Amino acid sequence: MTGKGPSIKELTHMINNVMGQNVLTERQLNHILQGAKKAGEQRGMSGVLDYLMHVTQADVSKEELQQFANTVRSNPQVGKEMLEGKKRHIPRRRPR
């Protein structure tokens, strides 16, 4: 990895490794990232999260995703470890 972060190719490879199968192509990831950038410019972080939840059909709540985003923002190593397969899941709060 060089520069500010991983290349599209490296990021695609990491995501596919975490998922255990090829779920994403470089072209698909590029399209998702462009859409997320547009959503962010129009509606901020909330728009980005809404867009990503829609595109990925993620089975997490927006609050859980926001909590994860805040964690990665304050400690980028957490996100990197997940993508490298060192951490396998987003810790979820148990309902009371």
pLDDT level of residue 89 (50, 70, 90 thresholds): low
- Give the pLDDT score at 88: 54
Alpha carbon separation from 57 to 22, 36, 49, 61, 77 (Å, rounded): 17, 14, 11, 11, 25
pTM exceeds 0.95:
no
| Average pLDDT of the chain, as a whole number | 82
> Is the pLDDT confidence value at 36 over 80?
yes
pLDDT level of residue 83 (50, 70, 90 thresholds): low
